[in-house]
Amino acid sequence: MNLGFEGATVVVAGGTTGMGRAAPTASPPTALASRYSLARARTSTPRPPN
């Protein structure tokens, strides 16, 4: 399923904060998904289980 991120500007604010623009060609949301999956608590002593 194409979520329509082509050319979109995305900011993920978290432990691995970053920003970027998706490629102007069709692309699945894997970049964003993997970006988030890499996010982690910046500090954690200990991390609560949500």
Partner 1 sequence: MDLLDRASVDAAMAQLGERWGHLNALVNAAGPFTTGVKSFEDYTDEDWLEVFNGLTLSSVRTIRAGLPLMRSAPWARIVNVSAMSTKHQSPALVAYTAAKSALTSLTKNLSHSLAPHILVNTVSPGTFASDSFKSSLALLPGVDENDLHDIMRFIGENYDNHVHLDRAADPSEIGPVIAFLCSQRNTYTTGANVNVDGGSDFT
Q: How far is the CB of 28 from partner 1 (least distance, A)?
A: 9
Q: How far is the CB of 25 from partner 1 (least distance, A)?
A: 15
- The beta-carbon contacts of 35-42 under 8 Å, at least 24 apart in sequence, are 35/10, 36/12, 39/12, 39/14, 39/15, 40/14, 40/15, 40/16, 41/15, 42/14, 42/15
Q: Which of residues 4-43 bind partner 1 (CB under 8 A)?
A: 4-5, 8-15, 17, 19, 21, 29, 32-43
- Where on the chain is the footprint of partner 1 (CB under 8 A)? 1, 3-5, 8-15, 17, 19, 21, 29, 32-50
